[in-house]
């Protein structure tokens, strides 16, 4: 029987966790957030409020909506605060070992019926689900960035995911105003299987000197009508996430066409992760982003 979802726990309050909390609270669900970084957790509500206020400017939310939604969100320093959640959505960093440890710890503190969804961009739902005590109640729920503005949610069943779980979470995506699309459990699913190799190729194009950052982004915007250039988009996604997805594609599909560009590796090693660290293919210190090559 489909579970009646009222309260949703969210693990990881980075750009995705914040966005997921935002849409869940606006849709009327109670939300509880946790993150290993205490500073991130402390500033989470202020960050979500700032994002909500941007939507007021576009007449998508009223001040009263925001007030009501923010009241629905609380934080917890550990998973004990998740014990009365019917659903937990994991949105921590794209690292398989980190996610596996999260699921092991989480299962000790939540009820046996609680569904676990992961927002992973690329990692096998079957493999992650196998780390839990409930692979039948484990599912992939892949939101797009920025969550409040993007309509798609990719829905992915692991081999063991039961139909009630899949249906419950798919219905929830609809209640959040999103359009769910089914993807099978192969590395990086649909969107990132197509998008990330394109971004990686754009980085090779830069690495080989075919064009500058600005030339590549301008060419792709004007030449293919993409709203953002691929390097600008890579910075927006986070270069650490881009690299992690390329590793999953390369390892999972064993094809050299997915090898991560050495320049992407170098940027991540330098801590140049894109917008979230203030520098990637662009430097975000000033009013306007400035290309770093
Ligand atoms: P982010 O770097 O902005 O945030 C990750 C957060 O996870 C950080 O706040 C970090 O402190 C926290 N964290 C790390 N280890 C943790 C742990 N053990 N327990 C709890 N929290 C922990 O990353 P993001 O862009 O929000 O990505 C999060 C997830 O969403 C990843 O799996 C990513 O692949 C996926 N995703 C990202 C995008 C995107 O465009 N960035 C789009 C769709 C899905």
SS (H, E, C) 202-269: HHHHHHCCCCCHHHHHHHHHHHHCCCCCHHHHHHHHCHHHHHHHHHHHHHHHCCHHHCCCHHHHHHHH
What pLDDT score does 1 carry?
59
Q: What is the pLDDT of residues 53-112, one digit of tens each?
A: 998 888 788 999 999 999 999 999 999 999 999 999 999 999 999 999 999 999 999 999
**Its pTM surpasses 0.85:** yes
Cα-Cα-Cα-Cα dihedral sign, residues 229, 235, 238, 241: positive
Q: Give the integer Cα–Cα distance in Å for 256 and 250.
A: 7
Q: What is the pLDDT of residues 98-127, one digit of tens each?
A: 999 999 999 999 999 999 999 999 999 999
Question: Does 240 score more than 90 pLDDT?
Answer: yes
What pLDDT score does 209 carry?
98
Sheet holding 152-157, edge to edge: 73-75, 30-34, 7-11, 87-90, 115-118, 138-143, 152-157, 179-183
Residue numbers annotated as active site:
121, 142, 154, 192
Is there an atom of ligand 1 within 6 Å of 37 CB?
yes
Query: Confidence class of residue 238 from pLDDT cuts 50, 70 and 90?
Result: very high
Residue with tokens 């000197």, as numbered in its chain = 209
Is there an atom of ligand 1 within 6 Å of 237 CB?
yes
Q: Does residue 107 contact residue 137 with C-beta atoms inside 8 Å?
A: no
Q: In DSSP terms, which residues pair with 75 in a beta bridge?
A: 33
What pLDDT score does 2 carry?
65
Is there an atom of ligand 1 within 6 Å of 96 CB?
no
Report how far ligand 1's centroid is from the alpha carbon of 40 (Å): 12
Going by their DSSP bridges, the two strands 290-291 and 282-283 should be labelled as antiparallel
Round the CA-based radius of gyration of the chain to a whole number and report it.
19
Tokens representing 22 are 């935002």
In the chain the domains, ranked by start, together with CATH numbers, are 7-183 (3.40.50.720), 193-291 (1.10.1040.10)
Q: What is the pLDDT of residues 17-28, one digit of tens each?
A: 999 999 999 999
* Residue 179: Cβ within 10 Å count: 10
Q: What is the pLDDT of residues 168-183, one digit of tens each?
A: 999 999 999 999 999 9
What pLDDT score does 59 carry?
78
Q: What is the pLDDT of residues 127-162, one digit of tens each?
A: 999 999 999 999 999 999 999 999 999 999 999 999
Report how far ligand 1's centroid is from the alpha carbon of 153 (Å): 16
């Amino acid at each position: 029987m489909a579970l009646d979802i009222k309260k949703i726990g969210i693990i990881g309050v980075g750009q995705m966790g914040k966005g997921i909390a935002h849409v869940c609270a606006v849709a009327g669900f109670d939300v509880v957030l946790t993150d290993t970084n205490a500073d991130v957790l402390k500033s989470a509500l202020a960050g979500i409020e700032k994002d909500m206020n941007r939507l007021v400017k576009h007449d998508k939310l009223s001040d009263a909506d925001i007030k009501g939604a923010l009241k629905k969100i609380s934080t917890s320093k550990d998973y004990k605060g998740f014990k009365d959640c019917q659903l937990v959505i994991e949105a921590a960093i794209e690292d398989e070992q980190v996610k596996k440890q999260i699921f092991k710890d989480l299962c000790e503190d939540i009820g046996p019926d609680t569904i676990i969804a992961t927002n992973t961009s690329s990692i096998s739902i079957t493999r992650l689900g196998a780390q839990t005590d409930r692979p039948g109640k484990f599912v992939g729920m892949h939101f797009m960035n920025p969550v409040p503005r993007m309509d798609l949610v990719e829905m992915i069943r692991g081999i063991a995911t039961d139909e009630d779980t899949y249906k419950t979470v798919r219905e929830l995506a609809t209640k959040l105003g999103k359009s769910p699309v089914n993807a099978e459990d192969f590395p990086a699913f649909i969107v990132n299987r197509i998008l990330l190799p394109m971004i990686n190729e754009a980085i090779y194009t830069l690495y080989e000197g075919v064009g500058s950052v600005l030339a590549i982004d301008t060419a792709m915007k004007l030449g293919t009508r993409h709203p953002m250039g691929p390097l600008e988009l890579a910075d927006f996604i986070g270069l650490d996430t881009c690299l992690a997805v390329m590793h999953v594609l390369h390892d999972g599909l064993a094809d050299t066409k997915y090898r991560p560009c050495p320049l992407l590796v170098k940027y991540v090693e330098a801590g140049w992760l894109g917008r979230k660290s203030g520098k990637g293919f662009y430097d975000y210190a000033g009013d306007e982003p400035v290309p770093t090559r």
